Amino acid sequence: MAIDFKVHTYASLPSTQHYVKELVAEGLPEGTVVQAIEQRAGKGRHGRKWFSPMGNLYMSVLLRPDCDVAQAGQLAFVAAVAVAAAIDTVLDEKHKLSLKWPNDILIDGKKVCGILIEKEADGYALGIGVNIMAPPDGAVALNDVTWDIQVPVHPFRDKLLAALGETYSLWQDEGFAKIRSAWLAQAHGVDEPIKTEKGEGIFRGLSEDGALQLETAEGAILDINSGDVYFAAEDKE
Ligand code: BTN
C-alpha cells in the first residue's frame, strides 16, 4: 500500500520532530511530513543536539505502521535504505556510501545523514536530517560528493520520499527480509572490531529482526538492540 505524502514546509521551527509528535497525538494521517528550512532546537539521538542551519534537509514523517512496538525499530533500516537509494542518484562514483548500525548514513566514513525514530501515542515520528550544504565539523555535505554542481534541497527531499514510499511498502507488505539484505549489502564495518554498551567484539551482521550481532572473544553471538556502536578505528561522535 503506497503512502500519500503531504509535505508542510516551514521557514523555521524549533524541531520538526517535536511538531510531528504533536501531530501524531492529534490524529493526523500517515504520510504527513513536516520540513523546516532551519531548526532552532534540532534534536539528535540520545538527547544530543542536531546542527540545523539553513542549507540542509530537516524533515519528520508521521507513520502508523502495522507492526508491534518490538518490530518498529526496523523502521530505522527502512529509512536508511531509502536515504541510501536517494543519495545514490547524486553520488559521484569516487565516493563510497555505507550504512552504520542502527541508523546513520556515512560517505567515505563521515556522517551525511542521521535518523531518529520516536514513538508517540499510536504512531511514530521518523526524523531525517541530511547534510546537503552546511555540515557540522567532522561530517560531510552531499554537495561536496556529488557529480552535479549542487543538490537542491526540495527535489532531493522528493526523491527521498519516493524511495521511502517504496521501502516502507516493501516492509509492510513482505516483512523485513529484503530490507535487511539491502541494508547489509551496504553495511559499514561488517567483520570489524566494535565497541558497544554491552561490550567489545566483532560486528557479524544483523539478526533476522534487526539486532546487531556481536561476536564476543569467547565466540558467543550477542544480539544488541540499542545503544551506540563505535568501530575501533573511529573516535566517538
Ligand atoms: C542522529 O542523532 O543521528 C539523528 C538526527 C536526526 C535529526 C533530524 S533533523 C529532522 C528531525 N528533527 C529533529 O529535531 N531531529 C530530526
Residue at grid coordinates 516551514: 10
The grid coordinates listed for 135 are: 555540515
Atom of ligand 1 nearest to the CA of 43: 14
Looking at per-residue pLDDT, the higher value among 142 and 236 belongs to 142
Phi/psi for 21 (5° steps) reads: -60, -40
Q: Is the CB of 42 under 6 A from ligand 1?
A: yes
pLDDT reported for residue 233: 55
Numbers of helices and strands, H then E, in the chain: 4, 12
- Confidence tier at 132 by pLDDT (50, 70, 90): very high
Closest ligand 1 atom to residue 48 Cα is 2
**What residues contact residue 158 under an 8 Å CB cut-off, 6+ apart?**
none
Kindly report, residue by residue over 149-190, the tens digit of the pLDDT: 789 999 999 999 999 999 999 999 999 999 999 999 999 999
Q: Which long-range contacts (CB under 8 A, 24 or more apart) does 182-187 make?
A: 182/81, 183/77, 183/80, 183/81, 183/99, 186/81, 186/84, 186/97, 186/98, 186/99, 187/98, 187/99, 187/100, 187/101
Check residues 189 and 11 and name the one with the higher pLDDT: 11
Edge-to-edge, what's the strand order for the sheet holding 57-63? 6-13, 32-39, 57-63, 123-130, 110-120, 104-107, 97-100
Confidence of residue 56 (pLDDT cuts 50, 70, 90): very high
Cα(157)–Cα(113) distance, integer angstroms: 13
- Ligand 1: atom nearest CA of 42 is 14
**How far away, in angstroms, is 217 Cα from ligand 1 center?**
35
How many Å lie between the centroid of ligand 1 and the Cα of residue 79? 13
Please give the pLDDT value at position 164. 98
Mutation probe of ligand 1 site: the residue of 48, 57, 58 with most atoms within 8 A of C-beta: 58
The predicted-structure confidence for 23-51, as pLDDT tens digits, reads as follows 999 999 999 999 999 999 999 998 899 99
> Which protein residue's CA is at the shortest distance from atom 9 of ligand 1?
129
Predicted model pTM: 0.94
The finding on whether 58 has its CB within 6 A of some atom of ligand 1 is yes
Selected residue with higher pLDDT from 6 and 236: 6
17 lines ligand 1 (CB under 6 A): yes
Residues 58-72 have pLDDT tens digits of 999 999 999 988 889
